Amino acid sequence: MSELASPAPISTKDVPQVMAWDSRARRAVTIYVPLACFLLILLFPFYWMTITTFKPNGELLDYTHTNPFWINSPTLDNIRKLLFETEYPRWLTTTMGVAFGATAISLVASVLAAYAIQRLRFRGSKYVGLAIYLAYLVPPSILFIPLAEVVYSFGLFDSPWALVLTYPTFLIPFCTWLLIGYFKSIPYELEECALIDGASRLQILRRITLPLAVPGLISAGIFAFTLSWNEFIYALAFISSSENKTVPVAILTELVQGDVYQWGALMAGALLGSLPVAIFYSFFVEYYVSSLTGAVKE
Amino acid sequence: MSAHADPTLWVRSRSKPSALAKLFDNKTFLIFICLAPALGLLLVFLTYPLGLGIYLSFTDTQLGKPGVWVGLENFQYLLTDRVFLNTVWNTIFYTAAATAAKFALGLWLALLLNENVPLKSLLRAIILLPWITPTVLSAIAFGWIYDPQFSIISYVFKHLGLISTNFDFLGTPWHARWSLVVANTWRGIPFVAISLLAGLQTISPSLYEAAMLDGASGWQRFRRVTVPLLMPILAVVLTFSVLFTFADFQLVYAITRGGPINSTHLMATLAFQRGIPGAALGEGAAIAVSMIPFLVIATLFSYFAVGNRKWQQGSDDDV
């Protein structure tokens, strides 16, 4: 690709102007209008979530006197209720703890596994890599029933530790896969030099490979963190007491009482539950995109 | 540094590597240590449960009560169970409809983003938002958008004078199914679009120029240049998308819980309903195990699509 791109620095930008039919108006209609529609549809639920959160209940259920797209008298009532009348802070800390714990375990295990598979090159390393790739294709929804038995027999039922230990099953395959690709991009010669200079394998990993792989580690870490934040089915199946629930599960199971849906409170929960992960994401967008696309391309 | 200091330093540091460091220089030991955490966790919490699940599906285990081997009884029962058969059918419908929509719209969005639009990286970041927010939470938002009385969509259509009564999004089986497909598509488009965009960006512009010089039309350039070069990445993304849509749980559980009258159950939600609140672990496991053949087909497809790629052939010059 690089040798194709470099000798021809002319084109991409000039082409639209060269082509007579590609007028400005046509471009607006074929590109910007559909793009705007996509953005509108993709972002509308978030707008609606936010608007609902800050609406007083009366306005929420009255479309005849007020315009539903705007708030006449914004209120923090729903947020106050969520923060002070439910165990939301507790759910938040549990979720944080579980997400950090699972991410840490997965990163350590994945770095070591990826290093062994990609750098130590033993007989059959290809098959170990393939096995880990296959593990990624086993979805949690066929595992949660037997895993409930396993968790129960370890005495971890209803404990956040059950989640910290089971989340790596879908995090490790992904992170290992990502890191194998990343290690591959670090020249092996650097390690050979270090070996000749008398460094031990551990020193090489700590002083040479890991520092060079930091962007890959960040990508894997962010991805693992968001995946564990969003996980639902294990948290639903293995946790039963309210105070140990994670945010997504708690909002669905604790805020819906009977058939009456308190939409204001629910939307406040959805908004506040998405916010931490969205903020986290906004700091690392580039890493996130590169890990997503890198994992698919590898 | 004077010349005579170097050899002493050199000799000293070489002369006493600790026993531990020596052990870590033993390649077999090192490989073992490096693979142990990952493989250990995967064996205990993935491979073993997978086997246990298959075993459970041949027993009548209840939650908290060990069961006995009943052979194929669970599966025989499921084959006569209308709810289960409907669920299998519905899962296939859901997967097919949502995947088709996601890929059509996702490819379109990727092609739009691949034009020279301003603020591309910002757009990309915004577009990924639906994908990173917890599915359950956006599903709850969809539940509110689909509310029978206060749906904002109904409001808009009413105001435009297009309908006189509210849409009944979740009240009848077909409405509910399509509503769920729409919600799933909404969540899946970003992933497809951003992955395919990455694929599109690897296609060299000179190929398009060459095609244009040869007089190819826009459609021909898309059909003969873009699609073939996008095929490998398309196959991988497709496999993942099919796999995770087929095994979807959260969206249906959060929006309809399988209703109305069990018409929107996916195999995963039915397995959960029967296995955990219904306490029939054996039967739940049998439903979950029935998903495996479908997943294996998708995996084999992935293996042969990904199998042609360089990374599995052990070459490391494809960076």
SS3 track for chain A: CHHHHCCCCCHHHHHHHHCCCCCHHHHHHHHHHHHHHHHHHHHHHHHHHHHHHCCCHHHHCCCCCCCCCCCCCCCCHHHHHHHHHCCHHHHHHHHHHHHHHHHHHHHHHHHHHHHHHHHHCCCCHHHHHHHHHHHHCCCHHHCHHHHHHHHHHCCCCCCHHHHHHHCHHHHHHHHHHHHHHHHHCCCHHHHHHHHHCCCCHHHHHHHHHHHHCHHHHHHHHHHHHHHHHHCCHHHHHHCCCHHHCCHHHHHHHHCCECCECCHHHHHHHHHHHHHHHHHHHHHCHHHHHHHHHHHHHC
pLDDT interval class at A100 (50, 70, 90): very high
* Confidence check: pLDDT of B237 > 50: yes
Number of structural domains found in chain B: 1
Query: ipTM score here?
Result: 0.83
Query: Contact, A75 vs A55, CB < 8 A?
Result: yes
Looking at the structure, tell me whether residues A197 and A250 fall in a common domain.
Answer: yes
Report the alpha-carbon angle B198-B203-B206, nearest 5.
150
Query: Contact, A108 vs A197, CB < 8 A?
Result: no
In a domain, residue B58? The reply is no
pLDDT interval class at B65 (50, 70, 90): confident
Q: What is the pLDDT of residues A223-253, one digit of tens each?
A: 899 889 989 999 998 988 888 899 989 888 8
B-chain CB neighbours of A180 within 8 Å are 311
* Confidence check: pLDDT of B38 > 80: yes
Looking at the structure, tell me whether residues A178 and A233 fall in a common domain.
Answer: yes
Looking at the structure, tell me whether residues A193 and A281 fall in a common domain.
Answer: yes
Task: State the CATH number of the domain containing residue A92.
Answer: 1.10.3720.10
Looking at the structure, tell me whether residues A49 and A136 fall in a common domain.
Answer: no
In a domain, residue A168? The reply is yes
How far, in Å, CA of A169 to CA of A137, rounded? 11
Looking at the structure, tell me whether residues A285 and A174 fall in a common domain.
Answer: yes
* Confidence check: pLDDT of A6 > 50: no
The pLDDT assigned to A3 comes to: 41
* Confidence check: pLDDT of A15 > 60: no
In a domain, residue A43? The reply is yes
Looking at the structure, tell me whether residues A180 and A222 fall in a common domain.
Answer: yes
Residue B190: helix, strand or coil by DSSP? helix
In a domain, residue B74? The reply is no
Mark yes or no for CB contact A288/B250 under 8 Å: no
The whole domain housing B164 covers 81-308
Identity of the residue numbered B313: Q
Number of structural domains found in chain A: 2
Q: Which residue has the higher pLDDT, B48 or B165?
A: B48
Question: CB contact, 8 Å: A260 with chain B?
Answer: no
Q: What is the pLDDT of residues A254-290, one digit of tens each?
A: 887 666 678 888 889 889 888 888 888 888 887 777 7
Mark yes or no for CB contact A39/B127 under 8 Å: yes
Interface test with B, best of A142, A161, A183, A205 (most B CBs within 10 A): A142
Q: Which residues of B116-130 are buried (b: 16+ CB within 10 A; e: fewer)?
A: eeeeeeebbbbbbbb
Looking at the structure, tell me whether residues A136 and A39 fall in a common domain.
Answer: no
Looking at the structure, tell me whether residues A24 and A136 fall in a common domain.
Answer: no
Question: CB contact, 8 Å: A37 with chain B?
Answer: no
In a domain, residue A67? The reply is no
In a domain, residue A14? The reply is yes
In a domain, residue B240? The reply is yes
Report cis status (omega within 30 of 0) of the bond before B260: yes
CA of A273 vs chain B CAs: smallest distance (Å): 7
Mark yes or no for CB contact B35/A113 under 8 Å: yes
For chain A, the first-to-last Cα distance in angstroms comes to 16
* Confidence check: pLDDT of A150 > 50: yes
Cα→Cα distances B236→B146, B195, B202, B232, B304, Å: 33, 10, 16, 7, 10
Question: CB contact, 8 Å: A120 with chain B?
Answer: yes
pLDDT interval class at A38 (50, 70, 90): very high
How far, in Å, CA of A250 to CA of A255, rounded? 7
Looking at the structure, tell me whether residues A144 and A279 fall in a common domain.
Answer: yes
Looking at the structure, tell me whether residues A175 and A293 fall in a common domain.
Answer: yes
Tell me which chain B residue has its CA closest to the CA of residue A29: B112
Mark yes or no for CB contact A43/B186 under 8 Å: no
Out of B38, B143, B144, name the one closest to residue A112 (CB): B38
The count of residues in chain A is 298
Task: State the CATH number of the domain containing residue B222.
Answer: 1.10.3720.10
B-chain CB neighbours of A45 within 8 Å are 130, 138, 141-142, 145, 186
* Confidence check: pLDDT of B98 > 90: yes
Residue with tokens 């007083």: A56
The pLDDT assigned to B1 comes to: 46
In a domain, residue B266? The reply is yes
In a domain, residue A73? The reply is no
In a domain, residue A78? The reply is no
The whole domain housing A257 covers 86-297
B-chain CB neighbours of A116 within 8 Å are 30-31, 34-35
Q: What is the pLDDT of residues B256-308, one digit of tens each?
A: 888 788 889 999 999 999 888 888 888 999 999 999 998 888 777 766 765 45
The pLDDT assigned to B234 comes to: 83
Mean pLDDT of all residues belonging to chain B: 83
Mean pLDDT of B162-177: 85
In a domain, residue A170? The reply is yes
B-chain CB neighbours of A5 within 8 Å are 204-206
Looking at the structure, tell me whether residues A119 and A258 fall in a common domain.
Answer: yes
pLDDT interval class at B86 (50, 70, 90): very high
Highest mean pLDDT of the ranges A18-32, B22-36, B38-52, B159-173:
B38-52
In a domain, residue A257? The reply is yes
pLDDT interval class at B239 (50, 70, 90): confident
Mean pLDDT of all residues belonging to chain A: 83
Q: What is the pLDDT of residues A157-187, one digit of tens each?
A: 888 999 999 999 999 998 998 888 888 888 8
A113: left (phi over 0), alpha (psi -120 to 50) or beta: alpha
Out of B34, B42, B126, name the one closest to residue A39 (CB): B126
A-chain CB neighbours of B53 within 8 Å are 142-143, 145-146
Out of A150, A180, A293, name the one closest to residue B45 (CB): A150
A-chain CB neighbours of B18 within 8 Å are none
Mean pLDDT of B148-168: 84
Looking at the structure, tell me whether residues A165 and A287 fall in a common domain.
Answer: yes
Query: Percent of chain B scored above 90 by pLDDT?
Result: 30
Query: Percent of chain B scored above 70 by pLDDT?
Result: 88
